[in-house]
């Protein structure tokens, strides 16, 4: 049942591969994010916010549906099913990045999203930016206005974009294009009587990070940066070929591109905030900023997120994301919250914030944190536990411990986060820790047993981190659904 609170506008800004450490307000003194820092000052920043899976498509599916990957069936980044190959122009079809495309697949078919529920309640919904949940050329899930990316990642300077249902390779910095369309949608939506929901899904700071991919005005800001904010470590022995990496000057070039892409995105976010203020909409609008998954840029010797290694990893740098919520006059300002929260909590929270009932409540693992956004103490959150998964790799994390279980044979990991916050010493084999390990393993199994759906769960799926090729559906073998390991 709806309550009588006035329905706020919602602007949901999502970054791509942005670690929680890559934010000025989180303590990084080298990166320049003045507008995000301003947004944090004007709201609440959550310091322990976790993705549901440390790779883009599963995490994005979980944000929208409130379901874990073992409920919605997206277990890796979507490599095939983004567009209909036969519908591409000859010029576009010959591009190497479309080699795996065949038939467009709606990976969320039949699964309710909060955007659909918002639309049913009278919200006008628009998307500017990355979708990456299949069939990217067609507006879906409650969205009326749609400017998207044809696949997932793309060139920054020559992106493959979707506009009016057509895929084109265009000249233009993709971050600016996403911002421009977001501003256009704001102008259109802000003049209507209905509340609006705007998704702004940047591709930044996803690779590529080469100098040719970003404007010099942003790169030059970091020409003299020592990048002391990122550890310089030997390459992890399990490093996978899923992200660029390097040492010495190559390391600095990659970090320069990563930081520059974030600052460019930050400028776009500043324009969005300014436009809301210019139109007199800021006090009526909740702004959310979040990352889809974490990112290692040398942390633990890894370049990449959960698929930066094989076996896939669950380090905090892979699973923690930045999260800021700001709404003047409604959400307290200048606060940093320490509660453990997950992306599967976003679905119920946004519905709660909009004053809407949650018809999926009994089937979803998440819980609304609207109380925290009101500045309340967060009673009953002392025993909150976070769960993550990436194919057959599952994680349970409390404030004190993290346990990672890899089906079927391991290796497993156990970290004492109180004494070892950087997760450097695996205690899984230590006899004094066996009672803790067994208790966490039991709790992990019970939780996934409660929510996982047979046929969609990832416990035995051959996920390698090199992409999903098809949905998990009757008649499609798991082996045919995922790209094999690339040596």
Per-residue pLDDT reduced to its tens digit, 319-372? 999 999 999 999 999 999 999 999 999 999 999 999 999 999 999 999 999 999
Whether 115 is covered by a domain: the verdict is: yes
DSSP assignment of 245-260 equals --SHHHHHHHHHHHHH
pLDDT band at 431 (very low <50, low <70, confident <90, very high): very high
Check: CB of residue 209 under 8 Å from CB of residue 244: yes
Does residue 473 surpass a pLDDT of 80? no
Q: Which of 57-71, 100-114, 381-395 has the lowest mean pLDDT?
A: 381-395
β-strands 320-321, 44-46 pairing: unpaired
As for how many domains the chain has, the answer is 1
Whether 420 is covered by a domain: the verdict is: no
- Strands, E assignment, 327-422: 335-337, 341-342, 386-390, 393-397, 401-406, 413-416
Whether 320 is covered by a domain: the verdict is: yes
Radius of gyration (Cα) for the chain, nearest Å?
Answer: 21
Whether 435 is covered by a domain: the verdict is: no
Burial class (CB in 10 A: 0-12, 13-18, 19+), 355: middle
Structure tokens at 378: 């967060």
d(CA 206, CA 294): 11
Q: Which residues of 1-11 are buried (b: 16+ CB within 10 A; e: fewer)?
A: eeeeeebbbbb
Cis peptide bond prior to 306, omega within 30° of 0 = no
Check: CB of residue 98 under 8 Å from CB of residue 92: yes
Measured N-to-C along each axis, helices 56-65 and 346-353 cross at an angle, to the nearest 10 degrees, of 40
d(CA 313, CA 184): 40
Check: CB of residue 296 under 8 Å from CB of residue 318: yes
DSSP assignment of 62-106 equals HHHH---HHHH---S-B-S-SS-GGGS-HHHHTSGGGTT--S---
* pLDDT > 90 in the chain, percent: 92
User: How many beta carbons lie within 10 A of that of residue 237, not counting itself?
Assistant: 7
Whether 261 is covered by a domain: the verdict is: yes
**Average pLDDT for 216-229:** 98
- Chain centroid to Cα 395, Å, comes to 17
> Among candidates 16, 73, 39, which has minimal Cα distance to 391?
73
pTM across the whole model: 0.97
Which pLDDT score is estimated for 4?
47
CATH number of residue 253's parent domain? 3.40.720.10
Check: CB of residue 221 under 8 Å from CB of residue 22: no
Residue 74 region by backbone torsions, left for phi larger than 0, else alpha for psi between -120 and 50, else beta: beta
Which pLDDT score is estimated for 402?
98
pLDDT band at 149 (very low <50, low <70, confident <90, very high): very high
Which pLDDT score is estimated for 233?
97
pLDDT band at 1 (very low <50, low <70, confident <90, very high): very low
Whether 202 is covered by a domain: the verdict is: yes
Torsions phi, psi of 385, nearest 5?
A: -120, 140
Burial class (CB in 10 A: 0-12, 13-18, 19+), 163: middle
**Average pLDDT for 252-280:** 98
Q: What is the pLDDT of residues 239-255, one digit of tens each?
A: 999 999 999 999 999 99
Which pLDDT score is estimated for 158?
97
Does residue 176 surpass a pLDDT of 90? yes
d(CA 453, CA 112): 15
**Average pLDDT for 68-72:** 98
Q: Could you give the strand order of the β-sheet that contains 386-390, starting from the edge strand earlier in sequence? A: 386-390, 393-397, 401-406, 413-416
**Average pLDDT for 302-331:** 98
Q: What is the pLDDT of residues 13-53, one digit of tens each?
A: 999 999 999 999 999 999 999 999 999 999 999 999 999 99
Check: CB of residue 52 under 8 Å from CB of residue 285: no
Average predicted confidence (pLDDT) for the chain:
95
* pLDDT > 70 in the chain, percent: 97
Which pLDDT score is estimated for 178?
98
Whether 458 is covered by a domain: the verdict is: no
Does residue 234 surpass a pLDDT of 70? yes
CA dihedral 416, 420, 422, 425 (to 10 degrees): -80
* 326, β-bridge pairs: 287
Whether 178 is covered by a domain: the verdict is: yes
* 101, β-bridge pairs: none
Does residue 191 surpass a pLDDT of 90? no
> 140: domain range?
9-385
Q: What is the pLDDT of residues 439-471, one digit of tens each?
A: 999 999 999 999 999 999 999 999 999 999 999
Burial class (CB in 10 A: 0-12, 13-18, 19+), 145: middle
């Amino acid at each position: 049942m709806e309550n009588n609170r006035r329905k706020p506008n919602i602007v949901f800004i999502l970054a791509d591969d942005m670690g929680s450490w890559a934010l000025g307000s989180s303590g990084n003194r080298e990166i320049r994010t003045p507008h995000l820092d301003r947004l944090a000052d004007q709201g609440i920043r959550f310091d322990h916010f976790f993705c549901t899976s440390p790779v883009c498509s599963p995490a994005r599916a979980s944000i929208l549906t409130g379901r874990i990957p073992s409920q919605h069936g997206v277990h890796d980044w979507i490599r095939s099913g983004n567009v209909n190959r036969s519908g591409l122009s000859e010029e576009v079809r010959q591009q190497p990045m479309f080699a795996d495309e065949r038939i467009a697949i709606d990976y969320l078919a039949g699964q309710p999203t909060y955007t659909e529920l918002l639309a049913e309640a009278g919200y006008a919904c628009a998307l500017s930016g990355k979708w990456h949940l299949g069939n990217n050329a067609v507006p879906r899930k409650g969205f009326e206005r749609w400017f998207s990316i044809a696949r997932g990642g793309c060139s920054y300077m020559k992106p493959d974009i979707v506009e009016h249902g057509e895929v084109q390779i265009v000249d233009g910095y993709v971050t600016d294009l996403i911002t421009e369309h977001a501003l256009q949608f704001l102008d259109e939506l802000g003049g209507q009587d209905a509340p609006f929901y705007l998704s702004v899904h940047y591709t930044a700071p996803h690779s590529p990070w080469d100098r040719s991919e970003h404007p010099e005005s942003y790169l030059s800001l970091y020409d003299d940066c020592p990048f002391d904010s990122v550890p310089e470590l030997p390459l992890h022995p399990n490093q996978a070929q899923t992200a660029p990496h390097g040492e010495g000057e190559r390391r600095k070039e990659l970090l320069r591109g990563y930081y520059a892409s974030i600052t460019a995105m930050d400028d776009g976010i500043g324009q969005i905030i300014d436009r809301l203020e210019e139109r007199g909409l800021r006090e009526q609008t909740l702004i959310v900023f979040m990352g889809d998954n974490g990112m290692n840029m040398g942390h633990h010797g890894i370049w990449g997120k959960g698929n930066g290694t094989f076996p896939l990893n669950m380090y905090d740098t892979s699973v923690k994301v930045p999260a800021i919520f700001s709404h003047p006059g409604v959400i307290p300002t200048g606060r940093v919250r320490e509660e453990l929260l997950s992306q599967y909590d976003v679905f119920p929270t946004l519905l709660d914030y909009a004053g809407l009932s949650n018809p999926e409540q009994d089937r979803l693992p998440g819980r609304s944190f609207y109380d925290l956004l009101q500045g309340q103490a967060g009673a009953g959150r002392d025993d909150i536990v976070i769960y993550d998964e990436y194919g057959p790799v599952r994680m349970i994390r409390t404030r004190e411990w993290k346990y990672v279980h890899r089906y079927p044979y391991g290796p497993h990991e156990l970290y004492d986060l109180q004494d070892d916050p950087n997760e450097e010493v695996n205690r899984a084999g230590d006899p004094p820790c066996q009672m803790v390990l067994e208790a966490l393993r039991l709790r992990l199994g019970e939780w996934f047993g409660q929510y996982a759906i047979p046929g969609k769960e990832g416990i035995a799926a051959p996920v390698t981190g090199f992409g999903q090729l098809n949905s998990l559906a009757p008649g499609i073998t798991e082996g045919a659904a995922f790209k094999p390991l690339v040596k």
